Amino acid sequence: MKIIFTLLFTFLLISCSGNNMKPIDFKDQKPRLIIEDYLSGDVRAWGILQNRSGKVIRQFSAELNGSWDGNQLILNEKFNWSDGEVQKRQWKINKIDEHNYEGVAGDVVGKAKGYSYGPTFKFEYVLLVPVKGREMKITFDDWIFKQNDEIAINRATMTKFGIKVAELTVLFQKN
């Protein structure tokens, strides 16, 4: 019994231990990602959704259009999933200071917290995700990495009760 408890405890520690990467780790790297500049105007995206074992379960293309008024980024997203589902979301993202942001959207619980350093933007939020006729609260650890003026790569880890349930990979192309 002790062995089973020890193995279970070790597994929980490993699965719940978070990513040690922090946005500030990228502060001196280039090119600088200023999210309100990059997402202003038209941006196209393509992505895959993988389950926790890495199997691709869905694909999508997306159209994003943002406008920045000097204080707030209004970002309209339209996702076209390979199974025919269309999802729309509007983000309202406020810049708090040079490195910190807060955002809201209709299907986000509370406020999203954003952090920007160097070529990275990290967004942490809880999203209401429809699953089998009901909504589940899924926590997103969302990272965008700017590659150049046109291309950025997004990796998001989705968790429930601290356990990874899915991953999202997205390629953004600014028009």
pTM reported for the whole predicted model: 0.85
Say what the pLDDT of residue 2 is: 54
pLDDT at 10: 44
Euclidean distance between CA atoms 88 and 80, whole angstroms: 9
What number does CATH give the domain 20-174? 2.40.128.20
pLDDT in tens, the chain (175 residues): 555 544 444 444 444 445 588 988 889 899 999 999 999 999 999 999 999 999 999 999 999 999 999 999 999 999 999 999 999 999 999 999 999 999 999 999 999 999 999 999 999 999 998 888 899 999 999 999 999 999 999 999 999 999 999 999 999 999 8
pLDDT at res. 12: 45
R_g (Cα) of the chain, nearest Å: 17
Report the C-alpha gap between 100 and 90 in whole angstroms: 19
pLDDT at 3: 53
Residue ranges with strand state E in the chain: 41-51, 56-68, 72-81, 86-95, 100-104, 108-117, 120-131, 134-146, 151-160, 163-174
